[in-house]
Structure 1
């Protein structure tokens, strides 16, 4: 039984004297306060970054809803006196070529995404699981391709595509975009983290290499394949330089290239420019909203952390 004596600490059931227990509770409370302050600082920083990222988008939306005369008023008005209007969108969509350019962009982007995924997944799986002579050298060359700026290859690609007679064709736009070394690297790192025992079990059951790849490996890689597909889709949809160089026929132009032609023919009309930019980016926003979970999950499992 614990007794109380003058000048001595009272013993507790946990065996710790009051002073030690108070110091321990103080340390815990300080740690909790530090954690709260850290989380508040992170939340504040993320909020500021989100506002900075959304501000141009919000300004583009507001400008696209103004009349052309209201876009150049001094001082600038967020809400014009005449109110908002859809006039800029009506004028942009009234261009007969807009639908054609949108269809061209959709066809090119979908084909590039599908074929790039097919090539990248098979190449990455080959590097990850197949043992052959020169594999390390070939993979090193693939990684080296990440460091080569695409702009350096524009001239030789143009000469090659022109010599093949593919200028002003869908094939001329699509073929140079199919090889993406960065995606091969990401997929290879992910495949390295898949236990080989699963494939060995399927092989014992008599499954072929193609069946193992399609029915065992690919279902386990849905998140990373979805993330890679979305990244490729965004890159192909926003690609301006190569289609601008290889295409001169207005009926084959993609949306980014066609909108530049509209902008130059109408002159600098800021409401229409902003409306065109928002219309061009709308499919990407929809794709991101639908597949944002796959994007986050894919980025989190790209082979980092020892895989």
Structure 2
């Protein structure tokens, strides 16, 4: 009985020792990096905030002849209302979504196939062909506009979704990024799958692609954004106003009636809003994909 009482009285005295972590002072290099990042963030956000503020102003206040005000004196939706009255924004947004989706899907299929082939197979002329693909990065897209337009015209694809999408399915940089990622994947996984009787397509589908989720998401999102923002090619090929994409439609509507700053800023906000939503939703995948390529 005495031993039990001693145990009970001794138990409360055994308290866990809580160690306090000392806060480390950030190094000079970290402070410089954070300060530079904050400065760049401010520089990138200021134009967007200015465009958003200007889009809610009346035209007389938004014109450059007036004093500059970050906060509108008279809040107005005049710029947005004018855009929706003069254009078919729902049709343009649907067209942009369809074209960008086609471009993204085809780019992923072709680039993944090419990158996997260059990463895992040996064949004559491999380095020469891969070098020729990478050399395509040095050719500006504007230099190919005329021959591509002639080709699309000869194939009677002008004014169609395929005519808008197919010439954009050229992404040497995506082949390079995916190949670099595939090179970093250990071949032990593939060899284990091949021992179970898996072929190359099954290995690609069941082994490589599940391990490449972040980089696939990053490549797909960057491709979608690039196609969505493309202005010059849809402007040339969309012969029918009903086939215009959102950037082209907004450009025609906002630029066809003179220079109106509030209206132009409203068009810019409407064009960037879908991309901003996509980026916020898939931000983690983009960061993981880019970081994975950088580390490997």
TM-score interval, normalised by the smaller of the two chains: 0.7 to 0.9
Deviation at residue 222 of structure 1 after TM alignment? 0.3
2:251 aligned with 1:260: yes
Structure 2: gaps spanning 5 or more residues: 1-23
Secondary structure class of the residue paired with 1:301: helix
Deviation at residue 80 of structure 1 after TM alignment? 3.7
Which residue does 2:70 correspond to in 1? 78
Which residue does 2:46 correspond to in 1? 55
Give the distance between the partners of 1:139 and 1:77, measured in 2 at CA: 53
Which residue does 1:133 correspond to in 2? 124
Which residue does 1:230 correspond to in 2? 221
1:148-163 pair list within 5 angstroms: 148-163=139-154
Structure 1 runs (4+) deviating above 4 angstroms are none
Q: 1:220 aligns with which of 207, 211, 233?
A: 211
Which residue does 1:190 correspond to in 2? 181
How many pairs were matched up? 272
How much is the aligned-residue C-alpha RMSD, in angstroms?
A: 1.5
Give per-residue Cα distances to partners, 1:87-109, cap 9 Å, x unaligned.
22222223352111111001000
Which residue does 1:166 correspond to in 2? 157
Deviation at residue 76 of structure 1 after TM alignment? 2.0
Give the distance between the partners of 1:155 and 1:301, measured in 2 at CA: 37
Which residue does 1:24 correspond to in 2? none
Alignment check: 8 A CA contact 2:87 2:253 kept: no
- My pick for the range that moved more, 173-182 or 92-101, is 92-101
Give per-residue Cα distances to partners, 1:12-36, cap 9 Å, x unaligned.
xxxxxxxxxxxxxxxxxxxx76x53
Q: 1:109 aligns with which of 94, 100, 116?
A: 100
Deviation at residue 287 of structure 1 after TM alignment? 0.9
Give the distance between the partners of 2:131 and 2:72, measured in 1 at CA: 57
Higher relative contact order (CA 8 A, sep 6+): 2
TM-score computed with the length of structure 2 as normaliser = 0.88
2:37 aligned with 1:46: yes
TM-score computed with the length of structure 1 as normaliser = 0.85
